[in-house]
Amino acid sequence: MSETPPNTLQYRFDGPEDAPVLILGPSLGTTWHMWDRQVPELTKQWRVFRFDLPGHGGAPAHPAGSVAELATRLLGTLDSLGVQRFGYAGCAFGGAIGLELALRTPERLASLALVATSPRFGTADEFRQRGVIVRTNGLDPIARTSPDRWFTGSFAAAQPAITEWAVQMVRTTDPGCYIAACEALAAFDVRAELGRVGVPTLVLVGSDDQVTGPAEARTLVAGIRDARLAVVPAASHLVPVEQPAAVTDLLAHHFATAWQQPYDTGQTVLPNLPALPVPAAPPQAVPVAEIAPAAVPAEVPVPSDRYEAGLKIRREVLGDAHVDRALATADDFSGDYEDLLTRYTWGEVWGRPGLDRRTRSCITLTALVAGGHLEDLASHVRAALRNGLTPDEIKEVLLQTAVYCGMPAAGRAFRVAQEVVQEETTPAE
């Protein structure tokens, strides 16, 4: 197979060439093989199109910095194949791409299924710290803990082959692409836009999903006007793997009854990649469908001026938790200072295009040590890690400050930085 161009995605087709196209989108850290158990049944009615995220499953490592960029690459791939109309089912990250497609190109989307998906995945801080851990330790810590996030304990214990398959799938992912995907999820938030999703939507979730569980699913159903909720018992985050029969039945019924318009088809590319092991006596579950009560999705402000632009950068660099604490303490006396700090420091200076954020972090660390402002050093060491500096690079910056700012100042800085680096780069057990 020829090299996949940077503006497209690695893909494969299964099923009859004259059938409608149904796209299955993968979760972060997985490959298209997470949908292996669904393909035999779905290809009876559809031409199934699966794709890999960049750097996953042997796909070329062309990192994408946003969900929107990945949606653009997917559309570019479909355009090159002549596929104009399609149904779409995506799991987690793949579901985020589906939401982006529904908002951007609703005329091309015949029907939508969102599996283990949320309009906002956790917090930006969580995903940026995950990127720090991968940058420092590689993907092995994430890989070893993936089964705990993806499967119920009983399934993982009963299916060691699938558990090991999951670990190896993450371990062989390109770290740079994984980090970029974490950044994309950190910035993803469509809560305020759910009302614009106008295609028939199935929201499907495992009852025991601790990552994007039933609460997040109900937020989607409350915000999307033509959405129904299906909760699959005895399943966690990778519900298509853990309860394949239930998920297949729900998808087949949804797309058979909620398909809106015709479509086009494309051509086949079939890379030779490891397939999902066949489960040993997989447990079956009958899906439970329900309609969630209506609720108003949370409003998310759209940056419209220098303050909002600065606040966005400030949150991306320092983290939501830090900024929230600072803003919570502002009152009539200090509020103007917080406004000035956000507009000038973050909206004006940090927002300038002349230097990247890594370089600005190096300068900031040096300036804080030189000025003796160690009360702010910890937050900016944490920011430097999130801006892409490794612990070794931060060490080099502080060694440089020892020469030009003095050994005592550098010594105190090392003690502060050491504590932050250990805290931020130690994987959770």
For 6-56, give the DSSP string: TTS--EEEES-TTSPEEEEEPPTT--GGGGTTTHHHHTTTSEEEEE--TTS
Give the model confidence (pLDDT) of 240-281 as tens digits.
999 999 999 999 999 999 887 543 334 334 444 567 776 665
**CA gap 370, 402 in Å, rounded:** 9
User: Is pLDDT at 195 greater than 90 in this prediction?
Assistant: yes
Residues of the chain with CATH 3.40.50.1820: 11-290
Q: Which of 230, 245, 247 shows the shortest CA–CA distance to 27?
A: 247
User: Is pLDDT at 357 greater than 60 in this prediction?
Assistant: yes
The label of the residue with tokens 């959405």 reads 227
**CA gap 378, 398 in Å, rounded:** 13
pTM as predicted: 0.81
Q: Which residues contact 40 (CB under 8 A, 6 or more apart)?
A: none
Give the model confidence (pLDDT) of 284-304 as tens digits.
444 444 433 333 334 444 445
**CA gap 257, 264 in Å, rounded:** 19
Q: What is the mean pLDDT of residues 395-415?
A: 95
Between helix 407-425 and helix 377-386 the angle, nearest 10°, is: 50
**CA gap 291, 132 in Å, rounded:** 39
pLDDT for the residue numbered 280? 60
Residues of the chain with CATH 1.20.1290.10: 306-425
Between helix 124-137 and helix 140-150 the angle, nearest 10°, is: 140
Give the model confidence (pLDDT) of 328-342 as tens digits.
999 999 999 999 999
User: Is pLDDT at 429 greater than 80 in this prediction?
Assistant: no
67 Cα distance to chain centroid: 8
**CA gap 112, 116 in Å, rounded:** 13
Q: Measure Cα distances from 274 to 34, 36, 148, 168, 311 in Å.
A: 11, 11, 21, 10, 44
Provide the edge-to-edge strand list for the sheet that holds 109-115. Answer: 11-14, 47-51, 21-25, 86-91, 109-115, 201-206, 227-232, 288-290
User: Is pLDDT at 185 greater than 80 in this prediction?
Assistant: yes
Q: What is the mean pLDDT of the chain?
A: 89
pLDDT for the residue numbered 261? 55
Q: Measure Cα distances from 429 to 144, 146, 149, 397 in Å.
A: 10, 11, 12, 30
Neighbours of 32 (CB within 10 A): 28
Query: What percent of the chain shows pLDDT beyond 70?
Result: 89
Neighbours of 248 (CB within 10 A): 18
Alpha helices in 258-374 (DSSP H): 306-318, 320-328, 335-340, 357-371
**CATH code that applies to domain 306-425:** 1.20.1290.10
Instruction: For domain 11-290, give its CATH number from 3.40.309.10, 3.40.50.1820, 1.10.3720.10, 3.20.20.70.
Output: 3.40.50.1820
**CA gap 327, 320 in Å, rounded:** 10
CB 80 within 8 A of CB 264: no
pLDDT for the residue numbered 157? 95
